[in-house]
Amino acid sequence: MGLSRSATWVIGPAISGVLVATVGPAWSFVIDAATFAVSTMSLAVMTVPPLTGIERKNFWTDLVDGIRAVAVRRWYLLNLGAHAMWNFAFAAFMVAGPIVARDHLGGARAWGFIAASMGVGSIVGGLIALRVMPRRPLIIGNLALTLTALQLLATAVPEPTIVIMAACVIGEAGFMFLNEIWFSTIPQLLPSDLLARATSFDWLVSIISMPLGFAVTGPVADHIGIRTTLIAAAFIMVVPCILIVLVPGVRHVKRTPEGRIVFEGAV
């Protein structure tokens, strides 16, 4: 699934560029809207068995249960915190990167190549995740996530466009590898009746942290400079992802010889 998403991130912009150049922006948006209609029809024709035996609760009860399910699992909560810090700091690359491309790398053309290389890195990460199944998935996955700091450091210098592109391929491969490891590991560790609520909490933390990063990056960069901002953001990304592997609960998540993910030891 991750590999399919990554492929669309590369193919989609390329097709969009052709459409904008041939039929214009307006018709490109019309065609884009039509793809959502196709998606809706595809979902509508799916046959899914109804869920039975589920106790109906009100929203606030479900919310409290979800928060409690996360809070009592310290290893999971700390992982979410580390990933939230990553999302917060990575926003600096998305804000400052285009400015660096404009001022030092030749403009939009350079940023287009850099953005495309991120899609390529996502495909590489998906291919690696198909083949590599680490025995300690959360340790290896979180350490792989630290590779994204290379993108920020290369942009902070700034290095030539080709070097930043190479850093993006490596960094996004690490990010996609962590994503696929995470979403294939967590469902095997959390009770099925709490999984949706815990995952929703995961998304909530991630969705909040990146916009905060967007809002903070601009004023901070104006005050201390883009280079210092990117270096500081890289530090914020790396340190929590390294420290999280020291948490006993994270270290005790392992893959059995049969391929199942199990949790051994105290939370």
What is the pLDDT at residue 225?
Answer: 94
Asked whether the bond before 211 is cis by omega within 30 degrees of 0, the reply is no
- Determine the Cα–Cα distance for residues 165 and 148; give it in Å rounded to an integer: 12
- The CATH classification number of 59-261 equals 1.20.1250.20
User: What does the domain layout of the chain look like in residue ranges?
Assistant: 2-44, 59-261
pLDDT < 70 regions, the chain: 53-56, 265-267
**Is 56 buried (19+), middle (13-18) or exposed (0-12) by CB count in 10 A?**
exposed
Q: Each residue of 230-258: pLDDT tens digit?
A: 999 999 999 999 999 999 888 889 988 88
pTM exceeds 0.95: no
Residue percentage of the chain with pLDDT more than 90? 49
Q: Each residue of 144-156: pLDDT tens digit?
A: 999 999 999 999 9
- Determine the Cα–Cα distance for residues 170 and 165; give it in Å rounded to an integer: 9
| Amino acid at site 252 | H
